């Protein structure tokens, strides 16, 4: 019998496949998905193409395409974990609890789906029983218990008991649990909101009081945490928590973080915690545009000083859009919030703004919020230094000087403060003996610090003791071999020592990472040697 040849692959499909591969390699998930859809039309039965479609659809957030791809993979016997999760989301959204149950009732020892058996099944099966009005839904959590000191699963159990109609059991369980873990506090806050939504003000107030006395979660505490209305939201919130956990675990899986947070948002799109977690998963996947879009949606109507706008601003600043970042994070009223965690993170963005008043306003607000206790001295010193740095970069040295002295008064023994104040004066050749003394004191306090070692070595060169400065600068360069400032200082010191070849080597190393101002100075030195005009500041 003759063997029929496979159908020819069209030029269109070949071009689409090549386009998809290029888009995947460049990280353009939207273009990759569009091209893979074109390939799939030409070869509908291709399991490999559908697998890639599923991966790109999860990145983009296209649930319809992800579900289509997952269904084809499943039918072809490719029961991948990501396909299982996407099909679970679809079954929960349709209210097909039998289908949802079949997708999570797995034997990890036989199927290799240990992750499903340990982390997914207990909570999802409990929520399915709530939806299906089965008795004792929390029984599934008995084999779950807790993860280390994290009692999140038990807090989830209290929420399940409440929605199953056993209010007293929910209250009793909540009263026995601690709030010493971040995710436990997030779930407890959602339980409190659920009590309140169901008209149980006493239970909601008691839990809110406990949360107010628990360790602060920084910006997470500023999120509006909505109640859990049904099993769909309960499952979505649990998946978001898992995704956040993978993102925050050193060496955690980026793929699982994105899969869980995306699935959680499909099930519970109004969960702000899930939105933040999804944005972080997208950042880890190098999908910053996607993260920015998620954060922009979350920031809409969230009020002044919200975590969505702040995180969006940080991402914009990281890619150089500093002034846009400041505009995104600044409240429309122009009045900064009083949240120290928010202000501390925003300060790192604001200090780089073109308008120096923005950064100074943030540091002034932070200084006003700090107590005068001894433990706050180093923090106050750091804020004075940061505010002075803004003025120095604006060429306002006379206005920066009193801030530097205020920093020293707040942290007189802090090596970083001593070094910054001493080196800033040294750069301007102002009161060199005092500047040198301060840098020496900084180095005695932290001799392993490469930046401080550089400052001291350069101080000796500036004061004419080149022989004493060179070994220190060499030591600093070993500590930070890619530091342009250190390499320029070392090159200048070598030249003054008559070591001209080594000087040019150090200058070339500095030129590789120099900013524009330094680059011009280095080019002049490489061309004609060191002069007083080209000496480093």
Q: Total domain count for the chain?
A: 2
Q: Which domain holds residue 463?
A: 448-537
Name the residue with higher pLDDT: 302 or 200: 200
Look at residue 305 and tell me whether its pLDDT is greater than 60: yes
Above 90 in pLDDT, residue 315?
yes
Q: How many residues are there in the chain?
A: 537
Mean pLDDT across 252-266: 91
Q: Which residues contact 325 (CB under 8 A, 6 or more apart)?
A: 312, 313, 314, 315, 316, 317, 349
Whether 511 maps to a domain, the answer reads: yes
Task: Look at residues 78, 93, 124 and tell me which one is the last residue of a structural domain.
Answer: 78
Q: In DSSP terms, which residues pair with 157 in a beta bridge?
A: none
d(CA 372, CA 378): 11
**What is the full DSSP assignment across 122-162?**
HHHHHHHHHHTT-S-GGGGGGGT--BTTB-HHHHHHHHHHH
Lowest mean pLDDT segment, chosen from 59-68, 129-138, 271-280, 325-334: 325-334
Give dist(CA 494, CA 500) in Å, integer.
7
Confidence of residue 289 (pLDDT cuts 50, 70, 90): very high
Could you tell me if 98 and 241 are in contact, meaning their C-beta atoms sit under 8 angstroms apart?
A: no
**Residue 214 above 70 pLDDT?**
yes
**Residue with the two structure tokens 């969006």:** 312
Three-state SS for 229? coil
Stretch 306-329: mean pLDDT: 90
How confident is residue 1, by pLDDT bands cut at 50, 70 and 90?
A: very low
Label residue 303 by pLDDT band (50, 70, 90): low
Instruction: Write 427-434 long-range contacts (CB < 8 A, 24+).
Output: 427/537, 428/397, 428/537, 429/462, 432/462, 432/463
Q: Which long-range contacts (CB under 8 A, 24 or more apart) does 358-367 make?
A: 358/326, 358/330, 359/386, 359/387, 359/390, 360/387, 360/390, 360/391, 361/336, 362/336, 363/387, 363/390, 365/336, 365/338, 366/340
Which two tokens mark 287? 């999908």
Q: Is 521 part of any domain?
A: yes
Q: Is residue 363 part of a domain?
A: no
pLDDT band at 139 (very low <50, low <70, confident <90, very high): confident
Q: Return the DSSP state at 473.
A: H
Q: What is the pTM of this model?
A: 0.81
Residue-level pLDDT at 114: 63
Q: How far apart are CA 97 and CA 125, in angstroms?
A: 9
Of the candidates 174, 178, 276, 260, the one whose C-alpha atom is nearest the C-alpha of residue 224 is 276
Q: Output the pLDDT for position 180.
A: 82
pLDDT higher than 50, residue 215: yes
Q: Does the pLDDT at position 333 exceed 50?
A: yes
pLDDT at 223 over 60: yes
For residue 109, the model assigns a pLDDT of 46
Give percent of the chain with pLDDT exceeding 90.
Answer: 52
Spatial distance between the Cα atoms of 89 and 84, rounded to a whole number of angstroms: 9
Residue 269 tokens, joined: 């799109």
d(CA 294, CA 417): 39
* Dihedral of the alpha carbons of 14, 20, 21, 25, in degrees to the nearest 10: 160
**Assigned domain for 121 exists:** no
Label residue 144 by pLDDT band (50, 70, 90): low
How far apart CA 240 and CA 369 sit, in angstroms, is: 34
Least confident interval from 76-80, 299-303, 517-521: 299-303
Domain contains 337: no
Residues 6+ positions from 437 with CB-CB distance below 8 Å = 422
Which pLDDT does position 149 carry in this prediction? 62
Predicted confidence at residue 234, as pLDDT, reads 96
Over 60: is that where the pLDDT of 524 sits?
A: yes
Average pLDDT over residues 479-507: 94
| Long-range contacts, stretch 522-525, CB < 8 angstroms, 24+ apart | 522/488, 525/491, 525/492, 525/495
Does residue 111 carry a pLDDT above 50? no
| Of 58, 78, 98, the domain-final residue | 78
User: Any residues with CB less than 8 A from the CB of 461 and at least 6 apart, and which?
Assistant: 469, 470, 473, 489, 492, 493, 496
What is the Cα–Cα distance from 173 to 196, expressed in whole angstroms? Answer: 17
Work out the mean pLDDT of the chain and round it to a whole number.
86
125 pLDDT more than 70: yes
Residue 318: CB partners within 8 Å, gap ≥ 6? Answer: none
Q: Which of 23-37, 149-163, 293-307, 309-323 has the highest mean pLDDT?
A: 309-323
User: Per-residue confidence at 6, pLDDT binned at 50, 70, 90?
Assistant: very low
Asked if residue 290 has pLDDT above 70, the reply is: yes
> Is 50 exceeded by the pLDDT of residue 2?
no
Question: What is the pLDDT averaged over residues 30-48?
Answer: 68
- Is 142 a member of any domain? no
What is the share, in percent, of the chain residues with pLDDT greater than 70? 87
Boundary-marking domain end, from 43, 59, 78: 78
Model confidence over 412-465: pLDDT tens digits? 999 999 999 999 999 898 999 999 999 999 999 999 999 999 999 999 999 999
Looking at residue 131, its pLDDT comes to 94
Beta strands in 280-439 (DSSP E): none
Give a yes or no: residue 325 inside a domain.
no
What is the C-alpha separation between 234 and 57, in angstroms, rounded?
A: 24
508 assigned to some structural domain: yes
Chain position carrying tokens 């006395």 = 213
């Amino acid at each position: 019998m003759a063997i029929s040849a496979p159908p020819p692959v069209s030029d269109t499909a070949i071009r689409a496949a090549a386009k998809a591969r290029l888009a995947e390699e460049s990280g353009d998930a939207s273009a990759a998905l569009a091209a893979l859809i074109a390939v799939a039309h030409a070869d509908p039965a291709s399991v490999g193409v559908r697998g890639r479609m599923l991966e790109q659809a999860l990145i983009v957030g296209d649930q319809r395409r992800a579900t289509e791809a997952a269904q084809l993979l499943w039918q072809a016997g490719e029961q991948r974990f990501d396909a299982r999760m996407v099909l679970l989301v679809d079954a929960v959204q349709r209210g097909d609890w039998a289908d949802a149950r079949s997708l999570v009732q797995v034997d990890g020892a036989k199927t290799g789906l240990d992750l499903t058996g340990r982390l997914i099944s207990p909570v999802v099966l409990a929520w399915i029983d709530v939806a299906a009005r089965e008795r004792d839904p929390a029984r599934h959590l008995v084999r779950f218990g807790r993860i280390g000191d994290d009692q999140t699963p038990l807090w989830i159990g209290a929420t399940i008991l409440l929605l199953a109609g056993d209010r007293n059991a929910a209250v009793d369980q909540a009263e026995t649990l601690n709030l010493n873990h971040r995710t436990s506090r997030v779930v407890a806050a959602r339980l409190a909101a659920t009590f309140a939504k169901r008209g149980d003000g006493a239970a909601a107030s008691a839990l809110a009081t406990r949360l107010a006395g628990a360790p602060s979660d920084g910006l997470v505490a500023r999120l509006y945490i909505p109640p859990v209305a049904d099993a769909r939201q309960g499952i979505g919130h649990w998946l978001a928590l898992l995704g956040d956990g993978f993102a925050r675990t050193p060496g955690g899986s980026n793929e699982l973080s994105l899969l869980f947070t995306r699935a959680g948002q499909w099930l519970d799109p109004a969960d702000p915690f899930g939105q933040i977690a999804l944005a972080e998963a997208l950042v880890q996947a190098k999908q910053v545009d996607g993260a920015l879009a998620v954060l922009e949606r979350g920031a809409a109507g969230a009020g002044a000083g919200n975590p969505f706008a702040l995180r969006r601003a940080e991402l914009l600043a990281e890619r150089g859009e500093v002034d846009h970042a400041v505009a995104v994070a600044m409240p429309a009223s122009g009045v900064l919030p009083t949240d120290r965690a928010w202000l501390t993170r925003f300060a790192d963005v604001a200090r780089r703004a073109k308008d120096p008043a923005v950064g100074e306003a943030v540091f002034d607000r932070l200084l006003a919020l700090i107590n005068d206790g001894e433990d706050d001295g180093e923090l106050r010193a750091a804020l004075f230094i940061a505010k002075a740095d803004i003025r120095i970069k604006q060429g306002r040295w006379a206005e920066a000087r009193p801030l530097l002295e205020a920093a020293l008064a707040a942290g007189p023994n802090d090596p970083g403060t001593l070094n910054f104040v001493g080196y800033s004066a040294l750069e301007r050749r102002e009161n060199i003996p005092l500047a040198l003394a301060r840098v020496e004191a900084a180095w005695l306090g932290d001799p392993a610090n490469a930046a401080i070692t550089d400052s001291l070595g350069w101080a000796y060169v500036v004061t004419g003791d080149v022989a004493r400065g060179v070994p220190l600068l060499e030591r600093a360069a070993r500590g930070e071999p890619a530091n342009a400032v250190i390499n320029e200082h070392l090159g200048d010191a070598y030249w003054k020592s008559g070591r001209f070849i080594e000087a040019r080597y150090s200058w070339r190393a500095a030129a590789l990472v120099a900013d524009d101002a330094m680059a011009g100075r280095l080019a002049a030195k490489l061309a004609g040697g060191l002069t007083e005009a080209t000496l480093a500041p």
